[in-house]
Structures are given as C-alpha cells and as structure tokens.
C-alpha cells in the first residue's frame, strides 16, 4: 500500500463515540478538560457548548474585531428574553432527513390536516360546526374552539377535525412519553409541586416549570418539539428527494459519517479549534449540505462570498488535517425548495482555496493577538480619523 493510501486508512482508527457505554463523555477528562479527537454521535447542543473556537467565530472575526467582541465577549444580549421555541425550519429537518434519517423517523410527525382524513365526512369549518350544533338544538355562538368543545361534549363520536387531529397527536406523544402534562389540573399540580403560584397564567407556569426542570414533558412543549407544520414537513421531504435525486450529491453523501465532530489544537496559535462536518466520506472527501433560496451558480457564488463559506471550508480542512484526517477535497451540496426543487454541487477553484487559506492563517494570527491583548478596535488599529470624499 502506498503512503497516501496508508495515511487515508489510518484516521478511521481514531474515531470514537462521544460517549462510552457507561455514559461518560470521551471528549472530556475527569477534570472537565476537552480531549482532542474525532467523535461520532455528539449532540448538537453539546458540540456548540464546547469551549473551543469554531469557524463561525472566525467568520465573525473576519468582519471586524468589534463584531467578534460584541457577539462572543460582551455582556450585551439583544435576543428576546422569552424562552426560545424548539422549532426548526424545513432546511434543518431536510438536513436531518438527508444526513441522519434515523434521528428523524419516529421522532417527528406531521401536524395533521383535513386531507389526512379523506374517508371521513369531517366537521371542520365554522359553518359545518354551527350546522351540526343547530341540528342538536345547541347554541351556535362563540369562537371556533368553543364551538368545537361544545359539539364534542354533545357527541364525542362525531368526526370533528380538531379532535381527530388532537387524538392523532396524543397517540404519537403517548408512544414516547408515559406521562406528560396535558390539562390545566395536571399543570397546576406540577406548579404546586415546584412551589410556583398556581394563579399565574398558563404560559408563565409552563415557562417557570421548564426553567426548574427543562426535561419535564409538557403538552405544548412536546408539540413544539415533535409536531411539524405540514408545509415545513413537505418542504423537508422535498429537500431529501431533490438531494438524493442528484447523482453526484447522492454519491457524496454516502459511504461515510454524518455530523462528525473534531477537536484539535492549532500549533501556530495554541488555540483549541472544533469543527463538525455535515458528512465526511470514508475517502476523506468533505461534504457541506446547504439549503438555499437558489441553486443558480452565480447567485450561490454570491452566497459563498457573503456568508464566507470559503473561510469555513479552509478552516474545516485545516482542523481536520490537525486531527489526522487528510481532507483535501471539499464539496458543497446546495438544495433549494421554496420556489423550485433542485440540487446542485459546487467546489471552490484552486485559486480561491489558496487565497482563502492565506487569509485564514492571517486571521488566526490576528485573532490570537486580539485574544492575548484584548485590543478589539474597529476598522482602524491606529484610531485615526477617516477622511472621506463621497
């Protein structure tokens, strides 16, 4: 076996699961220090919490030191204080379907629509609800859900869409959670258990319970986590279909590892870096799946430039090489789904890779200097006055 082939075959031996059989994190020492290495099955939230620098940080630094300081080092937070919803877009679910279908199927369901019950004479619209109520001599005033509840109480066997939808969701969630808080009574009991004022509004009680016990299964919380809007659901499956229909893309995303995480220390700066490949083939070809508004080559080229995918590529390649993985080829798989369904594959020219690599190493030196000195100046290090002739 020649040297190149030998070097490409040995890096697989260093891959290990993020967690051992006993649940211990292989990427951490007993004292909590990060261990360099190549890891599979590392949860996304855990990866992002690792105290190591990523390509996102380097791309932010490339916009200007002041940008990096604001986002990563300042105590300014302009995010809304309300707890972030556990909702994703079609691109996120499409990624999962293409790269890790085993983590999608069985964990998510499509929010039912009337079309999902084609064989039933559904009672769905407000006129239909009022007609059914009137035929039973029941009041026909009130909002939609009031009409639904009134009709359901009179006859639970009626094919009322809202109740069929709710029952389908309950069946799906019941298969995954033995007990969860569904009713106001259950919610109040849990609030009282945690010492929360039960007179507070439902949303406030849920938010406080989740702050105390984030893993507590609550009806609204579980729906947000597992039930996907039907349009988003359809979009995600079209992402998968379009991507797999492209011969080169289908080949690229095969025979390899999804979401492979790597941690390595940079010998130039001494800084700890981390990367997470969407897909890394066994032949060390790296693949980055992008869901995009357009796969037009010219416009996607602008996207590469504006979002600095070129810096991402060379940073990923550099860190992989440090970790002992001989990544030399990097390909972008771009899939659009909003206005059209299509997939294209793209690679950067050798000239662009060379220029971006040179820029990366300059940025790393500047980045290390900024971290060492705490000098986070804006666009001019000397702080001189700009003279403009506009």
Lay out the sheet containing 286-292: strands in order across.
Answer: 15-17, 37-40, 256-265, 272-281, 286-292, 330-336, 342-346
How far is Cα 157 from Cα 303, in angstroms, rounded to an integer? 54
Report how far apart, in Å, the C-alpha atoms of 18 and of each of 21, 27, 318 are: 10, 6, 21
Segment 155-181 mean pLDDT? 92
pLDDT band at 77 (very low <50, low <70, confident <90, very high): low
pLDDT 10s digits, 21-50: 999 999 999 999 999 999 999 999 999 999
What pLDDT shows up at residue 214? 84
Matching CATH number, 3-75+246-373, of 3.20.20.70, 3.10.20.30, 3.90.320.10, 1.10.3660.10: 3.90.320.10
pLDDT band at 179 (very low <50, low <70, confident <90, very high): confident
Q: Assign 3-state DSSP to the chain and report helix, strand, coil percentages, each to 5.
A: 50, 15, 35
Asked whether 93 and 236 are in contact (CB, 8 A), the reply is yes
pLDDT 10s digits, 189-219: 888 988 999 999 988 988 898 889 888 888 8
How far is Cα 312 from Cα 304, in angstroms, rounded to an integer? 10
pLDDT band at 178 (very low <50, low <70, confident <90, very high): confident
How far is Cα 283 from Cα 327, in angstroms, rounded to an integer? 9
Instruction: For residue 13, give both structure tokens.
Output: 């031996």
Segment 288-293 mean pLDDT? 96
What pLDDT shows up at residue 2? 39
What pLDDT shows up at residue 215? 82
Is residue 150 helix, strand or coil?
Answer: helix
Report how far apart, in Å, the C-alpha atoms of 165 and of each of 8, 109, 183, 322 are: 52, 12, 17, 52
Report how far apart, in Å, the C-alpha atoms of 215 and of each of 80, 105, 175, 192, 218 are: 22, 21, 17, 17, 9
Residues paired with 290 in a beta bridge:
334
pTM over 0.75: yes
Residues paired with 303 in a beta bridge:
none
pLDDT 10s digits, 87-101: 468 999 999 999 999
How far is Cα 378 from Cα 375, in angstroms, rounded to an integer? 9
Segment 53-68 mean pLDDT? 96
Report how far apart, in Å, the C-alpha atoms of 224 and of each of 45, 111, 168, 169, 185 are: 17, 11, 15, 11, 21
Q: Which long-range contacts (CB under 8 A, 24 or more apart) does 31-37 make?
A: 34/263, 34/272, 35/263, 36/263, 36/264, 36/265, 36/272, 36/323, 37/262, 37/263, 37/323
What pLDDT shows up at residue 308? 97
């Amino acid at each position: 076996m020649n040297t190149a082939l030998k070097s490409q075959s040995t890096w697989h031996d260093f891959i290990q699961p993020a967690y051992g059989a006993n649940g211990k994190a292989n990427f951490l020492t007993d004292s909590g220090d990060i261990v360099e290495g190549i890891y599979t099955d590392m949860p996304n939230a855990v990866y992002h919490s690792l105290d190591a620098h990523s390509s996102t940080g380097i791309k932010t630094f490339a916009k200007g030191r002041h940008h990096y300081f604001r986002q990563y080092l300042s105590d300014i937070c302009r995010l809304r204080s309300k707890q972030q919803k556990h909702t994703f877009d079609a691109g996120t679910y499409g990624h999962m379907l293409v790269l890790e279908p085993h983590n999608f199927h069985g964990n998510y369901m499509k929010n039912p629509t009337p079309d999902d019950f084609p064989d039933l004479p559904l009672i769905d619209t407000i006129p239909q609800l009022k007609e059914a109520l009137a035929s039973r001599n029941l009041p026909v005033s009130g909002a939609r859900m009031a009409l639904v509840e009134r009709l359901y109480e009179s006859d639970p066997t009626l094919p009322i869409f809202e109740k069929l939808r709710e029952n389908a969701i309950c069946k799906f969630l019941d298969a995954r959670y033995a007990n969860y808080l569904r009713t106001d009574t259950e919610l109040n009991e849990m609030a009282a258990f945690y010492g929360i004022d039960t007179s507070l509004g439902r949303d406030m009680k849920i938010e406080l319970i989740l702050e105390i016990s984030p893993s507590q299964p609550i009806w609204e919380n579980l729906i947000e986590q597992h039930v996907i809007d039907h349009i988003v659901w359809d979009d995600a499956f079209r992402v998968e279909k379009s991507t797999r229909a492209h011969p080169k893309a289908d080949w690229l995303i095969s025979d390899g590892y999804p979401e492979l995480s790597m941690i390595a220390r940079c010998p130039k700066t001494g800084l700890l870096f981390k990367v997470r490949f969407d897909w890394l083939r066994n032949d060390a070809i790296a693949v980055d799946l992008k869901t995009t508004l357009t796969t037009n080559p010219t416009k996607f080229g602008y996207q590469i430039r504006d979002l600095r995918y070129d810096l991402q590529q060379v940073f990923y390649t550099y860190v992989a090489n440090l970790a002992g993985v001989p990544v030399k080829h990097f390909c972008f798989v771009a899939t659009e789904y909003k206005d059209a369904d299509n997939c294209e594959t793209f690679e950067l020219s050798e000239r662009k890779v060379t220029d971006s690599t040179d820029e990366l190493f300059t940025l790393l030196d500047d980045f290390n200097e900024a971290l060492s000195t705490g000098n986070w100046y804006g666009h001019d290090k000397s702080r001189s006055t700009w003279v403009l002739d506009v």
